[in-house]
Structure 1
Amino acid sequence: MEVAGDLNYANGIGVSPDQKTLYVSETVGNCMLKFKINDDGSLGNRSNFALLNLLVRNKVESWWLGPDSMKVDSKGNIYVAQWFGGKILKISPDGKLLRVFEIAAGDGTTNVAFGEGEKELYVTVVKNPKDAQAKGSIVKIANVK
């Protein structure tokens, strides 16, 4: 059953701790959307949650530059990998940029996962996302709270 359409290269997805908001990253649109989750499970009130190019400057220009995977912590903060940006952005539930984690291992940050007690973040990254043969790695970031 489709609950939302007309998405621009939808990629990451996350749900708020209270289960009332669904977040979706649109990589090509360089945008994060939010939807209200209705009591019956349907989605309503689609809106732009965060336009990443307004939150942080980037070292590359590409129409592929945008949010990739994300995780939502127990306080509702969103940690989003920025493909072609080499960053993880920590965004508050009201769309404000709280912190930027620069990833020195490469520009192709793709996925994030929490470690112990949401104090650590594991990130998959590709050194050069323009290189189809590029090797990837996993980076651990401590003290993300």
Structure 2
Amino acid sequence: RAGGGAVVGLERALGLAGRDDLTDLAPLPEVWSDRGIRFNDGGCDPDGRFYCGSMAYDQAPGAGSMFRLAADGSGGYATEQMWSGVTVSNGFAFSPDGSLAYYNDTPTHQVSVMDYDREGGLGPRRPLVTVDLPDISGPDGLCVDAEGYVWTAIYGGSVVHRYSPDGRLDGVVELPVRQVTACTFGGPDLDELFITTSRENLPVDEQPQAGSVFSVKPGVTGQRTIAFAG
């Protein structure tokens, strides 16, 4: 949040904290009642509104949606459904000039792109690239660097891919684990790419480094995270 603290996706609600340690985290009203659906991943647009997508625990096709949270101008908050028919909602980030948004619905194997402007909001999704690798779940979390290139974790692929704004594969970071979940730039100079991984459903003796956070300096810098305006 611009004033400190964080906006957080909980199970069936969004929450707001005024402290960075989240000790005062307070949930907003639940968005739905179905206990088989949960929030998953999100990010803010250039005007400080928070988008967070949902998914079914059993990953039922089309059971999830994308929602947007904004301050309503009177001290309250409004949560609006932006689109539905999502299976595993992941990754939401913007180009440096704020004109393009990138988004993943993992099982589609596509990284999608949308036009954005303050008056019209988000335009229709269109594919930027289809990730064609064997035995993968698809693109998971993503971020965008200061040059406007898209970095996306490939769940099941042991890699993070870097794509140019026209969808060309420009770089690959290889990892010693398969389930690569998300990536973001950090460090004092925003020149470190931090990569999260999962060991969900893995036997205890398989892929011992799974579940670790990895870092690499890829030779480019990232952007500062867009803050929630509420």
Fold similarity call, TM over 0.5: yes
Name the amino acid aligned to 1:141: V
Secondary structure of the structure 1 residue equivalent to 2:125: strand
Kindly provide the CA deviation profile for residues 78-134 of structure 1, in whole angstroms up to 9, marking residues without a partner as x.
110011111000011111100111111x101112121343432111123x5542768
Which residue pairs with 1:115 in the alignment?
Answer: 186
Distance 1:50 1:18 in 2: 21
Residue identity matched to 2:197:
V
Match of 1:142 among 194, 208, 217: 217
**Cα distance change on mapping 1:113 and 1:132 into 2, 3 Å:** farther
Q: Say whether 1:49 aligns with 2:128.
A: yes
When residues 129 and 112 of structure 1 are mapped into structure 2, their CA distance, relative to the original with a 3 A threshold, is same
Task: For 1:100, give the aligned amino acid.
Answer: V
CA-to-aligned-CA distance 1:41-63 (integer Å, 9 cap, x gap): 5221321111011xxx34xx25x
In 2, Cα distance between equivalents of 1:49 and 1:26: 12
Q: Which residue in the other structure is 1:81 paired with?
A: 153
What are the equivalent positions in structure 2 for 1:31-70 lying under 5 Å apart? 31-53=110-132, 57-58=133-134, 61-62=135-136, 65-70=137-142
- Residue identity over aligned pairs, in percent, reads 25
Residue in structure 2 matched with residue 23 of structure 1 by the alignment: 102
Q: Structure 1 length normalisation: TM-score? A: 0.82
- Structure 2, unmatched stretches of 5+, are 1-79, 221-230
Across the two proteins, how many residue pairs are aligned to each other? 136
Q: Which one has the largest radius of gyration? A: 2
Quick one: structure 1 residues 69 and 122, their matched pair in 2 at CA, closer, same or farther if it must change by over 3 Å? same
After TM superposition, give the deviation of residue 3 of structure 1 in Å: 2.6
Equivalent position amino acid for 2:214 in 1 = V
Task: Say what the alpha-carbon RMSD is for the aligned residues.
Answer: 2.1
Separation of aligned partners in 1, 2:170 and 2:190: 16
Deviation for aligned residue 1:38: 3.0
Which stretches of structure 1, 4 residues or more, deviate above 3 A after TM superposition? 132-135
Q: Distance in 2 between matches of 1:144 and 1:108?
A: 24
Alpha carbons of 1:42 and 1:5: their partners in 2 closer, same or farther (altered >3 Å)? Answer: farther
Opposite residue 138 of structure 1, the aligned amino acid is V
> Which consecutive residues of structure 1, in runs of 5 or more, have no partner in the other structure?
none
Q: TM-score, normalised by structure 2?
A: 0.54
- Structure-2 separation of matches of 1:143 and 1:38: 30
